[in-house]
Amino acid sequence: MDLDLVTSILAIATFAGASLVLATIGEIFTERVGILNLGVEGMMIMGAVTGFATAYRTNNVWLGVVVAGIVGGLMALVHAFATITLRADQIVSGLAITLLGTGLASFLGQVIGPDGGPLVGLTGPKFTKWPIPGLSSLPLVGEGFFNQDPIVYSLFVVVPVSWYFLYKTRPGLYLRAVGESASTSDAVGVSVFGRRYGYTVLGGVMAGVAGSHLSLSYTPGWTENLTGGRGWIVIALVIFATWNPARAVVGALLFGGVNAIQFRLQAEGTNLPASILNMSPYILTVLVLILITRTDKLRQTIGAPAGLGIPYHREERE
Amino acid sequence: MKRKLFALVAVLAIVAAACGGGSADTTTTTAADTGGGGAAEEPMKVAFVYVAPIGDLGWTYQHDLGRQAVEARFGDKVETTFIENVAEGPDSERVIRDFANKGFDLIIATSFGYMDPTITVAAEFPDTQFVHISGFKNADNVATLFGRMYQPRYLSGMAAGAATESNILGYVAAFPIPEVIRGIDAFTLGAQSVNPDIEVRVVWTNTWFDPPTEKEAAEALLAAGADVIAQHQDTTEPQKAAQAAGAVSISYNSDISEIVGDSVLTGPVWDWGVKYISIIEEMMAGTYDGSESYWGGLSDGVISLAPFSDRVSQETQDAINAKMAEFESGATDVFCGPIVDNEGTEQVAAGTCMDDGSMLGMEWFVKGVSQ
């Protein structure tokens, strides 16, 4: 592989991986506080359709991002209400939200275009790339890291801040404590309900924004099934990243880049079985899953939240 | 507490179902209730099973245009229904059986992967007529339907061959099945007929419909030096990627010049309405051969070529039109020898043409294809 090929693969992996990083870090916050949200796919696709529709009507991509975030947050609020207040099964509620989101997005895509018509096939405003002078011409990483759109650049802040917040600050410690053992946290006076609501909604906002990155930048425009299952990749990515925002970046580059890599190899005429490359990130995810369920010690070292998926009920404390 | 949970889940599920969509979306269009007409006959009920959403400007979109043509032609004599986004395999069998149970007279299954489910259900409902698109298994009440898409593929290849400067054409393809391989081969032969040095690079996506993936595949081909992008997919992302890179493209399924302007040179398009209408007319007259294997060519109107972009020179347009006339008259066809495959074996001898059976099972690539 020559240098140009590596450069361009890195550029595509970053661009393709950006929405994955955002949604994954959002889901890490949600799962770290003990709530499993399988509604990511539904929130991403709703973010994609509402973000594009808003940008199309207002001719302002930033408004599109804001609306996408609000929509994602509102959907997460439904999940939070169902699972935290009503203590419904988190898996069922999450799946219902994904089904609702994909259905509603298809429906909206047919009626919120101009004159109540479809959005499909319209060309609207989109993010353009902002090359950073000097840095963007660096060999190898210049194209991938410094010739991107503003959403990708925002990750330079979001990723380190999320990591620092989670591991180095007191609110981050409380967050993780709630996900580890809600009853213990409650006993020492750390609010369980408020935190669970807050971080679930935050996760939804990030998923919505991630969806709008697809419809406003990566594949500008709206087509049904635009997210193509990327919300499910996010669920796998959280495990792959072992609930750590920094490792989520590595994972997202890998998951995002693997298609680009195998397509490049195909286009260059290399006869490598594409399916093997395509499934490699998932094999690694399964491996991580096996490892963390094997031993409690390893689980603790890695930091999988012990209280994930368990509803908390004050009066039924164990 | 438990009751609350179930109530909530039920509500969510109902909302999800009401909004329709994700997995399956049913829409029934009943043309005028004949109500107190007395002597009015029951309308003929026709159901369509779609593999993708309609809004894709691709394969399913064209089928739905066919359905709309049926409605326009027959008015209240026919009632049509469709379900979109039906996964191939067990899901489709459930959907098809459901339609048969509900008493539909004609069920049209529009994707290759519905073949076995269609055959299975058809055996249980001998009085229902089934039409399967693009397959090769028939029964007394299962007709198969397809078009000789390789003819317009060849013609679009001529446009691509005349346009390229790098002599590398990119082809984003879904799955290595005979239908797709036949298209790649025809496209390559067409391109080579105007420029013998052409190389066609193929990238397999292993999906019919995935916008970001299709875009990535096209970008990989553009990066490898291709300056014309053709495709056998269901979205328009490969063409958008070509336009964004300043290259040109060949479309498939629909005329997409409204989306990507004159960067799309031309492309093979489907027109299913023609055949759907004739099937229904024949069924009403009681003359339809319910087990037919129909493979329509350019002269039948099921397939054609999208209008040329201004970027296709008059000279090339004339050459393509002349070739089209030859295909229509039956004077020649695409797969007439000598044709050598990309491993150097002669597959079709000079002076002979491939028969339909071997074309439908085609599994080799012509010289000049690298995949």
Q: Cβ–Cβ of A263/B19 closer than 8 Å?
A: no
A274 touches chain B (CB under 8 A): yes
Cross-chain CB nearest to A103 (options B16, B219, B370): B16
Give residue B365's pLDDT band: very low, low, confident or very high (50, 70, 90). Answer: very high
Q: Is the pLDDT of residue B20 over 60?
A: no
| B249 contacts B221 by C-beta, under 8 angstroms | no
Chain B residue at shortest CA distance from A123: B259
Q: Is the pLDDT of residue B40 over 70?
A: no
Residues of B in contact with A111 (CB under 8 A): none
Interface test mutation site (partner B, options A91, A225, A226, A316, max chain B beta carbons within 10 A): A225
Q: What is the pLDDT of residue A119?
A: 86
Residue A249: exposed, middle, or buried by beta-carbon count in 10 A (0-12, 13-18, 19+)?
Answer: buried
DSSP of B141-179: TEEEEEE-THHHHHHHHHHHHHH-SSSEEEEEES--SHH
Residue ranges of alpha helices (H) inside chain B are 2-19, 59-74, 90-101, 115-124, 150-163, 178-194, 211-223, 237-244, 257-260, 273-285, 314-329, 356-360
Q: Cβ–Cβ of B206/A218 closer than 8 Å?
A: no
Q: Using one digit for the tens of pLDDT, what is the confidence trace for B129-155?
A: 999 998 889 999 999 999 999 999 999
Q: Is the pLDDT of residue B316 over 80?
A: yes
Q: Cβ–Cβ of B8/A121 closer than 8 Å?
A: no
Residues of B in contact with A263 (CB under 8 A): 203, 205, 216-217, 219-221
3-state secondary structure B180-214: HHHHHHHHHHHHHHHCCCCEEEEEECCCCCCHHHH
The better pLDDT of the pair A21, B55 is held by A21
Task: Tell me B229's DSSP state.
Answer: E
Q: Is the pLDDT of residue B233 over 70?
A: yes
Residue B147 is encoded by which pair of tokens?
A: 């078009």
φ/ψ (deg, to 5) at B172: -90, 115
Q: Using one digit for the tens of pLDDT, what is the confidence trace for A115-125?
A: 888 888 788 89
Q: What is the mean pLDDT of chain B?
A: 88
Q: Which range is least confidently modeled, B79-88, B114-123, B165-174?
A: B79-88
> Which domains are present in chain B?
23-30+43-147+272-300 (3.40.50.2300), 150-267+306-370 (3.40.50.2300)
B174 touches chain A (CB under 8 A): no
Window 31-90 of A, Cβ < 8 Å to B: 82, 86-89
Q: What is the pLDDT of residue A143?
A: 83
A121 touches chain B (CB under 8 A): yes
- Name the pairing type of β-strands A130-131 and A147-148: antiparallel
CA B317 to chain A, closest CA, distance in angstroms equals 27
Residues of B in contact with A104 (CB under 8 A): 19, 21
Q: What is the pLDDT of residue B285?
A: 94
Residues in a beta bridge with B132 = B109, B144
CA B20 to chain A, closest CA, distance in angstroms equals 5
Chain B residue at shortest CA distance from A42: B22
3-state secondary structure of B81: strand
Residues of chain A with pLDDT under 50: 318
Q: Cβ–Cβ of B8/A93 closer than 8 Å?
A: yes
> Which domains are present in chain A?
3-122+131-311 (1.10.3470)
| A61 contacts A94 by C-beta, under 8 angstroms | no
Give residue B248's pLDDT band: very low, low, confident or very high (50, 70, 90). Answer: very high
Q: Using one digit for the tens of pLDDT, what is the confidence trace for A98-147?
A: 999 999 998 999 899 888 888 887 888 999 888 888 888 888 888 888 98
The better pLDDT of the pair A117, B125 is held by B125
Q: Which range is least confidently modeled, A119-123, A231-235, B122-126, B199-203?
A: A119-123
Q: What is the pLDDT of residue B238?
A: 94
Q: What is the pLDDT of residue B66?
A: 96
What is the helix (H) or strand (E) element at residue B83, kind and residue range? strand B78-84
CA B22 to chain A, closest CA, distance in angstroms equals 4
Q: Using one digit for the tens of pLDDT, what is the confidence trace for B59-80?
A: 999 999 999 999 999 999 999 9
Cross-chain CB nearest to B215 (options A97, A110, A219): A219
Q: Cβ–Cβ of A259/B213 closer than 8 Å?
A: yes
Q: Cβ–Cβ of A88/B170 closer than 8 Å?
A: no
Residues of B in contact with A102 (CB under 8 A): 21-23
B30 touches chain A (CB under 8 A): no
Q: In angstroms, how far is the first alpha carbon of chain B from the final one?
A: 59
Q: What is the pLDDT of residue B32?
A: 42
Q: What percent of chain B has pLDDT over 70?
A: 89
